[in-house]
Homo-oligomer: A and B are copies of this chain.
Amino acid sequence: MTESEFIATHRQELRRGTVVLACLLALREPGYGYALLDELAGAGVPVEANTLYPLLRRLESQGLLASEWDTSEARPRKFYRTSAQGAAVARQLQTEWDELTTALRQLDLDQGDNE
């Protein structure tokens, strides 16, 4: 594995953990899956459609997202929003993320002087 392959793999691993949290945060304003793809990519958390759509269905089945059908157009579209439970979960995952950020910063500072 070359250095750049290694970085790509681990970058992917860092991102994977953020996708659920990013969806729960973004969908506090209701949105379509397609618009969410754009929004996440724009925010810097790009996700593939074939990863995102099953994830949205899974989060809905877990009660963290709610959905409704918009039938005002010729082709009905499903839109999602974060449930109260989903917002509470997002809050806890955000706290976890902040704690990890602090931990990484601390490890960086602890050892940085010895390089």
Instruction: List residues of A whose CB falls within 8 A of some B CB.
Output: 1, 3, 6-7, 10-11, 13-18, 20-22, 25-29, 39-40, 43-45, 62, 64, 85, 87-89, 92-94, 96-97, 99-104, 106-108, 110-112, 114-115
B97 touching A101, Cβ below 8 Å? yes
Tell me, rounded to whole Å, the shortest Cβ–Cβ distance linking A6 to chain B.
6
A18 touching B103, Cβ below 8 Å? yes
Tell me, rounded to whole Å, the shortest Cβ–Cβ distance linking A52 to chain B.
14
B10 touching A17, Cβ below 8 Å? yes
Q: Across the interface, which residues of B come within 8 angstroms of A13, CB to CB?
A: 16-17, 20
- Docked Cα-Cα span, A18 to B39, in Å, equals 25
Q: Across the interface, which residues of B come within 8 angstroms of A62, CB to CB?
A: 1, 6
From B3, B28, B100, give the contact of A44 (CB < 8 A).
Answer: B100
- Docked Cα-Cα span, A45 to B102, in Å, equals 10
B104 touching A21, Cβ below 8 Å? yes
